[in-house]
Amino acid sequence: MYEVQSYHLNQGAVELPACMYKVENFHGSTVDAENGDESPELLNLESRQTDILNRLYELKAVVDGLSKTVLTPDADLDVTEINHACSEPTIRTAISLDSVLGKNSGALRDIVINANPSEVPLSLLVLHNLLSEQYRVLSSVHVHSSVQNVPSQLWNCLGKRSICRSRREYQLGFTLVWKEVLKPQMKFSIQSMCSIEGEGNIARFLFALLGHKYDVVTSTQIDSWVDIAIFQLKKGSSKEKAAVLRSLNSALGKSPWVVGVDLTLADVVLYCVLLEMGFEDIPANIQRWVKCCENLACFNLALKPLK
Amino acid sequence: MTKGEAVGVPEDQAQSKKAAKKLQKEAEKAAKKAEKQAKLAAENQADEEDFAKDKYGILPMIQSQEKLDRVLVHVKNLTEDKADQMVWLRARVHTSRAKGKQCFLVLRQQQFNIQGLVAVGDHVSKQMVKFAANISKESIVDVEGYVRKVEQKVESCSQCDVELHIVKLFVVSAAEPRLPLQLDDAIRPETGDEEGRATVNQDTRLDNRIIDLRTMTSQSIFRLQSGVCQLFRETLIKKEFVEVQTPKIISAASEGGANVFTVSYFKTSAYLAQSPQLYKQMCICADFDKVFCIGPVFRAEDSNTHRHLTEFVGLDIEMAFNYHYHEVVTEIADTLVQIFKGLRDRFQTEIQTVGKQYPCEPFKFLEPTLRLEYLEAVAMLREAGVEMGDEEDLSTPNEKLLGRLVKEKYDTDFYILDKYPLAVRPFYTMPDPHDPKYSNSYDMFMRGEEILSGAQRIHDPQVLTDRALQLGIDIEKIKSYIDSFRFGAPPHAGGGIGLERVTMLYLGLHNVRQTSMFPRDPKRLTP
């Protein structure tokens, strides 16, 4: 019925091995290695080393470039891209939500955040944008019946959402509910977690979903900055605020971002708190840093509609 | 027991002595009483001529003999700013309490009441006070009096800042002295039984429905229910819907055959409509685009549960959409949200009145309404330890549990559950294009109980026939239904709500019979 061409050339009989597995002569190879310097293993090792060195050089170049853009306020470059390029091979492991949040239940993992419309948690909006850059996020805004007359820009503060796709296709749900609450609160997995209260704590959780890994010192520094931002800068007296601004200024004198050479949660929270206070009489280093933040798309997109 | 112990050992003697004393005392008392009565009679005879004779009495039956130029003020309007005015009003005697030379009446009109006072004085004679005290409860009276401010608030009345000093009092319609149930018992909160006071059970209430309906709670419930209907209409008409009326006597069962009432119809038999489903869809095919209808719906299910009635009022919506059935879902959900908002804003006093007897958290909702998918719900339930299959239908306990889980996470009493498994829905439900196991159907829940069930309907006659055949439905019986889609039918979806259920769940009541004026269930046909 069908004519099929022979798929192997008829070049004499194929020699089949007599034993089950064919193994190279072990003794013979050691003798070879002793004799010749250019064994395949050694070559392999050599090439891997040059590879690593090359990557290190590349990295160095990227970091140099990055510090340049960060230190020049008017750089039009979108820093996130470079940022990612540099951080991807080193810090960030290839992560999925499963590795961060554990088992997958097969349904949408929905993060519910209750916030009071009179006190918009700006940092969470920025983090929402950061999450949407990395995952397929289904974001929705609701108004709880306990509040009335929510301004229209808060109704669509998470941007436009596509309606028609099935909820199953998203990796993460981000449900923001404007509600009469004293503190922002987050509810995620109601069976195993109690609700998390406070903008800072929610921000930490959301940032952790991005999968950055820090050493103990760095992560403690970040935590400490978040606390400072929420408790001293936001709610403190003018004296405390001035002290925070001083220490922030000196920190930004040493490194491009608040903690190290990367954008961290500390930057997000501090920027948002400063934005609420208004950028009046702030020291030079902070001013430069503010401009850097504003260059990033995630800040821009999240906060512009609210101004 | 304690008394006996206190008295001590010499029982017999003491008792006999005591008994003798008692007898003597009683005799004295009786003598005194007789004397007093004789005196009273003499007194009564003395001022036989009553100066207030024409200021009270029983009015002849009102047969529209004359048209009086008299303004009857509503009790709810009697407030401080009417103080010291002379007003007429017609009300029921809620309670009367005579105390010497004065008699306190609580006059009730619908869910409002005011304290009235008949006291002997320039206008009021003793006989009039006596007459006032003898009016039976629930009688209707016409009253003239002065509105007076009170020093201390009258806590027991809705008009607590004023009372009425009555000068004229006429009975318009007298009630029989014995009532089958006491209104005060009927409005006592169920939680207050630590005092050991009587409450009225559901069946007694329903047997004497007209008296039960007079209670402040019932008055508020049905005023709010009327509000639900009104808001439903208002919202939909604003959205350019058309109200339609559909027949209730139909020739074939629309949803499955089992639970329909059969009525004899001349020489054949007919059925009472289980839902206006078919006719709503026909209206869509007849280019009405957006229709709704409010009318009775009959279910012959022999289930005696707290949420089933055999006749209830259905609020049904059907709407043609452009490309996606979520257009309809959002429209329906928005309608319900508008109803909730309207109730919250316009019926606050009614909600509070009901809350006094049946305490309940205020109804919470999100705007736009929360929409979850069936798969998510199953995942939530599984996480909570419920074992169920992906395509299994929600059982009532699971439904309630899911309601609690959703409430805990999202803090809403109202949500939509979308994408039900196709297997658990009727044959006319449109399958999901991406996953044939699921369907474009949805339920809406209030306080964890289903109030609306809807779906995108199949508008293609071929697909509809196929689905019916798959489910083993006799094509001949539903021929007219399928035929209505043959001449061009727009894609459409809809749903139906039970008015009683919405009212019940909004107010957090426990039984649907409380929100049905004259409930019908397998065991009740009267009143």
Put simply, the answer to whether A107 touches B365 (Cβ < 8 Å) is no
Contacts of A167 in chain B (CB under 8 A): 371-373, 376
Q: Is the model's pLDDT at A234 over the cut of 70?
A: yes
Residues in A lying within 8 Å of B, measured between beta carbons: 105-108, 110, 112, 114, 140, 142-146, 163-164, 166-168, 175, 177, 179, 187, 189-191
- CB-side neighbour CA atoms (13 Å) of A62: 20
Q: Which of B375, B382, B406, B437 to mutate to test the interface with A (most CBs of A within 10 A)?
A: B375
Q: How far apart are CA B405 and CA B312, in angstroms?
A: 29
For chain A, the residue count is 307
Nearest to B379 among A107, A142, A175 (CB): A107
Q: Is the model's pLDDT at A34 over the cut of 90?
A: no
Q: Is A119 exposed, middle or buried (0-12, 13-18, 19+ CB in 10 A)?
A: middle
pLDDT at residue number A77? 45
Q: Is B453 an active-site residue?
A: yes
A63–chain B nearest CA distance, Å: 43
- Please pick, among B90, B209, B308, B326, the residue that the annotation labels catalytic: B308
| B294 within 8 A of B314, measured Cβ to Cβ | yes
Q: How far apart are CA A159 and CA A302, in angstroms?
A: 8
| A270 within 8 A of A92, measured Cβ to Cβ | no
Determine the longest span between alpha carbons in chain A, in angstroms: 93
Straight-line distance from the first to the last Cα atom of chain A, in angstroms, rounded to the nearest whole number = 75
Q: Which segments of B86-160 are extended strands (E)?
A: 86-99, 102-109, 112-119, 140-149
Cβ partners under 8 Å of residue B251, min gap 6? B270, B271
Q: 10 Å Cβ neighbour count for B491?
A: 20
Q: Give the residue from B375, B98, B127, B331 showing the smallest Cα distance to B235.
A: B331
CA nearest B323 in A: which residue?
A164
Put simply, the answer to whether A108 touches B373 (Cβ < 8 Å) is yes
Q: Is the model's pLDDT at A218 over the cut of 70?
A: yes
CA nearest A142 in B: which residue?
B367
- Please pick, among B299, B447, B459, B513, the residue that the annotation labels catalytic: B299
Q: Is A16 exposed, middle or buried (0-12, 13-18, 19+ CB in 10 A)?
A: exposed
For residue A182, give the H/E element and its range.
none
pLDDT at residue number B452? 93
pLDDT at residue number A90? 36
Nearest to A167 among B373, B405, B411 (CB): B373
Put simply, the answer to whether A107 touches B434 (Cβ < 8 Å) is no
Measured in degrees and rounded to the nearest 5, phi and psi for residue A129 equal: -65, -40
Contacts of A112 in chain B (CB under 8 A): 409-410
B326 — contact with chain A (CB < 8 Å)? yes
- Please pick, among B94, B214, B307, B447, the residue that the annotation labels catalytic: B307
B408 — contact with chain A (CB < 8 Å)? yes
Put simply, the answer to whether B409 touches A142 (Cβ < 8 Å) is no
Q: Is the model's pLDDT at A270 over the cut of 50?
A: yes
Q: Is the model's pLDDT at A242 over the cut of 50?
A: yes
pLDDT at residue number A180? 93
B409–chain A nearest CA distance, Å: 6
Put simply, the answer to whether B340 touches A106 (Cβ < 8 Å) is no
Q: How far apart are CA B491 and CA B468, in angstroms?
A: 18
For helices A265-277 and A284-295, angle between their N-to-C axes, nearest 10 degrees: 110
Q: How far apart are CA A282 and CA A270, in angstroms?
A: 13
Cα B368 to Cα A115, A167, B373: the distances in Å are: 16, 16, 16
| A269 within 8 A of A230, measured Cβ to Cβ | yes
| A107 within 8 A of A168, measured Cβ to Cβ | yes
> A112-126, A161-175, A269-283, B178-192 — which is least confidently predicted?
A161-175
Q: Is the model's pLDDT at A206 over the cut of 60?
A: yes
Percent of chain A with pLDDT over 90: 27
Q: 10 Å Cβ neighbour count for A306?
A: 13
Per-residue pLDDT tens, chain B, 527 aa: give them.
444 444 444 555 556 777 777 788 888 887 787 777 776 666 555 555 678 888 899 999 999 998 988 999 998 888 888 889 999 999 999 999 998 889 999 999 988 899 999 999 888 898 899 999 999 999 999 999 999 999 999 888 888 999 999 999 999 999 999 989 888 888 888 765 556 677 788 888 898 999 999 999 999 999 999 999 999 999 999 999 999 999 999 887 655 556 889 899 999 989 898 888 889 999 999 999 999 999 999 998 888 888 889 999 999 999 999 999 999 999 999 999 999 999 999 999 999 999 989 999 999 999 889 999 998 899 889 888 899 888 889 999 999 999 999 999 999 999 999 999 999 998 899 999 988 999 999 999 999 999 999 999 999 999 999 999 998 888 887 888 888 899 999 999 999 999 999 999 999 999 999 999 999 999 999 88
For helices A238-254 and A284-295, angle between their N-to-C axes, nearest 10 degrees: 70
Cα B279 to Cα B253, B274, B480, B495, B525: the distances in Å are: 12, 12, 11, 13, 28
B365 — contact with chain A (CB < 8 Å)? yes
CA nearest A189 in B: which residue?
B409
pLDDT at residue number B1? 47
pLDDT at residue number B24? 82
pLDDT at residue number A81? 44
- CB-side neighbour CA atoms (13 Å) of A299: 23
pLDDT at residue number A63? 86
Whether a cis peptide bond, with omega within 30° of 0, leads into A283 is: no
Please write the tens of the pLDDT for every residue from A49-82: 999 999 999 898 888 877 766 655 444 444 444 4
Three-class DSSP labels, B214-278: CCHHHHHHHHHHHHHHHHHHHHHHHCCCEECCCCCEECCCCCCCCCCCEEEECCEEEEECCCCHH
ipTM here: 0.79
Put simply, the answer to whether A177 touches B410 (Cβ < 8 Å) is yes
Nearest to B364 among A108, A144, A164 (CB): A144
pLDDT at residue number B40? 65
Please write the tens of the pLDDT for every residue from A5-14: 777 666 666 7
B243 — contact with chain A (CB < 8 Å)? no
B379 — contact with chain A (CB < 8 Å)? yes
B93 has which bridge partners? B107
pLDDT bin (cut points 50, 70, 90) of residue A165 is low
